[in-house]
Amino acid sequence: MLSELKEQLPAGSAVEYLEKLFEKIEKSRLNAFTSLAKESALAQAREFDKSPGKGLLAGVPIAIKECISTKGIETNCSSRILRGYVPPYDAHVIERLKAEGAIVMGKTNMDEFAMGTSTETSAFGPTRNPWDLERVPGGSSGGSAACVAGGEAPCALGSDTGGSVRCPASFCGIVGLKPTYGLVSRFGLVAYANSLEQIGPLTGTVEDTALLMQVIAGHDWRDSTSAKKGFSLEGLKDGVKGLKIGIPKEYFGEGVDGEVEKAVWNAISTLENLGASWQEVSLPHTRYALAAYYVIAMSEASSNLARFDGLRYGLRVGEDQDWHTTFSEIRSQGFGPEVKRRILLGTYALSAGYYGRYYLKALKVRTLIKNDFQNAFKQVDILASPTMPIPAFKIGERINDPLSLYMADVFTVPINLAGVPAVSLPCGFAGHLPVGLQLMGPHFGEAAVLGAAQAFEEATPFHEARPEVI
């Protein structure tokens, strides 16, 4: 836990701890990191050893997903087109982390431009799951999740556009939170789909997730969607007595692995034994969520990624020719197959004659999905479901079947469409692979979600399990 680490560091050596982490990373087979900020991190650790700070994360190393801007450290989104790009500024969340004394130790691998469910589309090669090196860690924040689960970093930041924090948290057996849209500033997050994405923490325990949220949440004038709200640890240990939990009937049954469903129902029974009650609810428009999500996400991606042309920064190939030829060659060689696929589909959905048929219709479906959640939260306090319908699959098993990869996001994308918070935490195993329990709350209902997660964690041993294969 971060609180225990903070207590140990002043008595020991932040430099020594950090050097051990770097040594472990260099020997690792996980491929969780794309770069290490050794020089700056060790310099900061030496300063801490001389004069321990009093910030909430003073002396604590943290790993940062590749798409979050870090001043002086390359931020390439695991894409060839941005190799060599070093931001001249920090993202808002990095500013907050540094203000509380955290040490940025390096950048973590991800699906290229956060487009994926497996961290296989990275230009740096796939990240491996620490529970089974032949399997994916989930995506797109797979590097962040794998390094925490594998003991290479005590905590990390990821981003969640359609499950990119919760999916790898589930597959790697750790805690991952997708906050309410607007609670954490997106300033400095390289945009994929602006209306869907949020930065969120990946940690070993619920308490650590709450601590990181206390640091990174809050208003930022540079993000027009930033809410004028912060985050408090108040109520985290109040338990679940009297809590009403909704079980969406659409999130169980067909397509859900039997062992995953069993582990989640056992978790619900545990919460019931702790004093909560549950009832079935319906989110009737769930069946349209994936289609609506991918139309919206790809449309926004095609617009956002138009800025990457290699003319001002990033990849440059051959000799310059006319603008159209140069632009096409740079993007052809710079983007991977999945990014190209999403740009093409998004451009098509936004094109004349199809905007109303696809994009506008998807926005209307999004409103219906948001209404489903609002109606459900009139009956219950939180919702519970599997995070992912299956445990981690093997590397290469689905990468050539994009539809099956997209289908794996069926329980995570509705949360991003609705803008509500959701946490994934370990609740059992399917064979030797972790299973994640997803708890969802109303807008700015992080306290209820994390409070229930904390109660479950204290009553079960799953968060203490560590992978043997790393």
Spatial separation of the C-alpha atoms in residues 119 and 142, rounded to whole Å: 5
Q: What is the pLDDT of residue 54?
A: 87
Q: What is the pLDDT of residue 327?
A: 82
Q: Examine the pLDDT at 10 and tell me if it is beyond 80.
A: no
Contact 382, 445 (CB under 8 A): yes
pLDDT tens-digit map of 389-416 = 999 999 999 998 888 889 999 999 999 9
DSSP category for residue 291 = H
Please give the structure tokens belonging to residue 304: 């956002």
Q: What is the pLDDT of residue 429?
A: 98
Q: Which of the residues 6, 28, 65, 159 is marked catalytic?
A: 65
Q: How many CA atoms lie within 13 A of 213 on its CB side?
A: 33
Domain positions in the chain are: 2-239+443-464
Please give the structure tokens belonging to residue 401: 């079947």
Please provide the average confidence, as pLDDT, over all residues in the chain: 95
Query: Sorting pLDDT into bands at 50, 70 and 90, what band is 189?
Result: very high
Question: What are the Cα distances from residue 314, in Å, to 35, 87, 146, 193, 335?
Answer: 17, 11, 27, 21, 12
Buried b (16+ CB within 10 A) or exposed e, 335-349: bbebbeebbebbbeb
pLDDT tens-digit map of 63-120 = 999 999 999 999 999 999 999 999 999 999 999 999 999 999 999 999 999 999 999 9
pLDDT tens-digit map of 41-64 = 999 999 999 998 889 999 999 999
> Domain 2-239+443-464 belongs to what architecture?
Alpha-Beta Complex (3.90)
Query: For this structure, is 140 an active site residue?
Result: yes
Query: Sorting pLDDT into bands at 50, 70 and 90, what band is 5?
Result: confident
- What's the rounded mean pLDDT across residues 412-439? 98
Query: For this structure, is 385 an active site residue?
Result: no
Contact 73, 82 (CB under 8 A): no
Q: What is the pLDDT of residue 72?
A: 96
- What's the rounded mean pLDDT across residues 315-337? 85
Please give the structure tokens belonging to residue 162: 């359609």
Q: What is the pLDDT of residue 53?
A: 84
* Residue given tokens 């999740």 in the structure block: 145
Please give the structure tokens belonging to residue 223: 């993000």
pLDDT tens-digit map of 162-184 = 999 999 999 999 999 999 999 99
Closest by alpha carbon to 36, among 55, 61, 2?
Answer: 61
Q: Which of the residues 69, 164, 226, 385 is marked catalytic?
A: 164
Closest by alpha carbon to 70, among 105, 100, 44?
Answer: 105
pLDDT tens-digit map of 328-368 = 888 999 999 999 999 999 999 999 888 889 999 999 999 99
Contact 278, 384 (CB under 8 A): yes
Q: Examine the pLDDT at 470 and tell me if it is beyond 70.
A: no
> What's this model's pTM, rounded to 2 decimal places?
0.96
Q: Examine the pLDDT at 320 and tell me if it is beyond 80.
A: no
Query: For this structure, is 65 an active site residue?
Result: yes
Spatial separation of the C-alpha atoms in residues 324 and 77, rounded to whole Å: 24
Task: Count CB atoms within 10 A of the CB of residue 423.
Answer: 31
Question: What are the Cα distances from residue 46, in Å, to 59, 92, 105?
Answer: 10, 25, 13
Q: What is the pLDDT of residue 388?
A: 98
Q: What is the pLDDT of residue 325?
A: 86
SS3 37: coil
Sign of CA dihedral 214, 188, 349, 81: negative
Spatial separation of the C-alpha atoms in residues 365 and 356, rounded to whole Å: 13
Q: Is the peptide bond before 282 cis (omega within 30 degrees of 0)?
A: no
Q: Which of the residues 69, 78, 79, 140 is marked catalytic?
A: 140
